[in-house]
Amino acid sequence: MRPRFPGYARDGRGTGPLGVLVANLGTPDAPTAAAVRRYLAEFLADARVVELPRPLWWLILHAFVLPLRPRRSARLYAKVWGPDGSPLLAGSRAIADGLAPRLRERVGSDVHVALGMRYGRPALAAALGELAARGCARVLVLPLFPQYSSTTTGSVFDAVAAELSAWRRVPELRTVATYHAEPAYIAALAASLRESWAAGPPDRLLLSFHGLPQRYVAAGDHYRDECLATAGLLRAALDWPQERLVISFQSRFGREPWIEPATDATLLRLAREGVGRVDVACPGFAADCLETLEEIAITNRERFLAAGGREMRYVPALGARPDHLAALAALAARHLGGWPAGEVKS
């Protein structure tokens, strides 16, 4: 069948408003095995996520992973599912909703913000369609991944390009590849931690980033370097002692080597060394999700206490904090600057 090749609506001026596509990873529709299976089938089929020969991985995925993992993962999702549903979706929506009015204050023209998920719903295609329906002839793609990785930001760019390949009139595009060193982002992280220390600082501050297979880094993915850069800038902003800062990587999947040290093993080591109180922050997550609320705040906290630790506190993701929204708005406005539909106000 011939593609329909849709395009965006034109306004009478021939320019139209600016569009911002806020993107995040994605989430199941419900904490059920069936919903998780649909989500994992899409997520794990992405060649950027699992870099194995397709026939081999298809066999492993459909013979072993999808028949077994969804039921267990659904139980974990159920622990963190809230009144608004998926915490990642609710948190991402709050960021997108909060970003829109701040951008309109900064940009000298109308700006529309749409939220899209790389996997699951609302899909990136639907978000792009929403912006097209509003006449956005210029679109900024803003993935909510501060540190670039081929598996996240790179995959979002792939999906956007694939969707637009079927459009008759493709909008002008700009992309934000990374903001790991953005001063306002670092300042928001620092403020969040200082607020959590109102009753006193911890013995150790653990910064846990999502993990990545070691061979991806060896192949040229700069993700680990950007995580370490964020951690160094945050330590400097806090004036935090180097010897009391620990950096680790979480959410390992499969048996191949991942970048280290691993978060779970690091917390057990700290407990066995007699470190009483540890605060854990996850600077790579813009909104809280399964990996922060269940993996860190529940499972790893229980393991730390069982191993002899006295107290482990999880410092929530920045989410829709005003300083985080201001940082994202400043970042987006800078990237939008100079487009004919409007210039950034000073």
Least confident of 17-21, 209-213, 299-303, 342-346: 342-346
Domains 18-28+86-178+323-336 and 183-315 share a fold: yes
For the residues 12-18, what does the mean pLDDT come to? 68
Query: pLDDT at residue 116 above 60?
Result: yes
The answer to whether 57 and 256 have CB atoms below 8 angstroms apart is: no
Cα torsion for 94, 100, 103, 109, to the nearest 10°? Answer: 170
For residue range 278-293, list pLDDT tens digits in order. Answer: 999 999 999 999 999 9
- Write the DSSP symbol of residue 123: B
Mean pLDDT of 225-251: 98
Q: Give me the pLDDT at residue 342, please.
A: 44
Tell me which architecture the domain covering 18-28+86-178+323-336 has in CATH.
3-Layer(aba) Sandwich (3.40)
Q: Is the pLDDT of residue 346 over 60?
A: no
- Percent of the chain at pLDDT above 70? 94
Question: pLDDT per residue over 98-113, tens digit each?
Answer: 999 999 999 867 899 9
CATH topology of domain 183-315: Rossmann fold (3.40.50)
Q: Where are the domains of the chain?
A: 18-28+86-178+323-336, 183-315
Cα–Cα distance list, 282 to 3, 94, 100, 272 (Å): 42, 19, 25, 22
